[in-house]
Amino acid sequence: MKNKKKQRKLSITEADFMLANRRAARLEEIEQHGRPITFRKAIHKSKKVYDRKRLKKTEIGD
């Protein structure tokens, strides 16, 4: 007798379904508007706020 390979049944998990749904929605959006739409905009950062990275950049530049 020959060993028969067991066939796996294709099982779609909830995570797979969500990913496919998101991807389809994104492709639809790009098709409608010609480009992806970003909902989150960059928030303006106040210069008065203490920012160590900005201070380091200005020290290096000087």
User: 6: left (phi > 0), else alpha (psi -120 to 50), else beta?
Assistant: beta
Domain-located, residue 28: yes
Domain-located, residue 19: yes
What is residue 53's predicted lDDT score, i.e. its pLDDT?
A: 86
What is residue 27's predicted lDDT score, i.e. its pLDDT?
A: 93
User: What pTM value is reported for the model?
Assistant: 0.46
CA distances from 36 to 22, 42, 45 (A): 13, 16, 25
For residue range 9-28, list pLDDT tens digits in order: 888 899 999 999 999 999 99
Domain-located, residue 32: yes
Domain-located, residue 31: yes
Domain-located, residue 27: yes
- The total of structural domains in the chain comes to 1
Domain-located, residue 46: no
Q: Please state the rounded mean pLDDT for residues 32-42.
A: 81
Report angle CA 18, 24, 30 to the nearest 5 degrees: 135
Domain-located, residue 45: no
What 3-state class would DSSP assign to 34? coil
Average pLDDT, the chain: 83
Q: Which domain holds residue 27?
A: 13-39
